[in-house]
Amino acid sequence: MRRIGNVVRVIASIIALLVMAPSSAPAQEKNLATLVKKQAAAPAQALKRTAAVVDKKPHRLILQVNSNEPAMMNLALNNATNVVQYYKDLGENVAIDIVTFGPGLHMLRDDTSPVKARIKAISESNPSISFKACGNTRENMSRAESKEIPLISEAKIVKSGVVRVMELQEQGWTYVKL
pLDDT in tens, 53-64: 555 778 999 999
What is the arithmetic mean of pLDDT over 131-146?
98
For residue 177, the model assigns a pLDDT of 85
How far apart (Å, rounded) are the C-alpha atoms in residues 113 and 104?
Answer: 10
Q: Which amino acid, 1?
A: M
For residue 21, the model assigns a pLDDT of 46
Instruction: Please answer whether residues 85 and 79 qualify as being in contact, where contact means their C-beta atoms are separated by less than 8 angstroms.
Output: no
What is the arithmetic mean of pLDDT over 87-112?
97
Closest CA to 160 of 136, 130, 132: 136
Closest CA to 65 of 113, 110, 103: 103
What is the arithmetic mean of pLDDT over 78-97?
96
Whole-structure pTM over 0.75, yes or no?
A: no
For residue 15, the model assigns a pLDDT of 56
How far apart (Å, rounded) are the C-alpha atoms in residues 37 and 6?
Answer: 12
Q: Please, is 71 exposed, middle or buried when counting C-beta atoms within 10 Å of its C-beta (0-12, 13-18, 19+)?
A: exposed
Long-range CB pairs of 136-145 (<8 Å, 24+ gap) are 136/101, 136/160, 136/161, 137/100, 137/101, 137/102, 137/105, 137/161, 138/105, 141/105
The percent of residues in the chain predicted with pLDDT above 90, rounded, is 66
Q: Which amino acid, 41?
A: A
Residue 36: which pLDDT band, with cuts at 50, 70 and 90? low
Q: Which amino acid, 52?
A: A
For residue 178, the model assigns a pLDDT of 82
Average pLDDT, the chain: 84
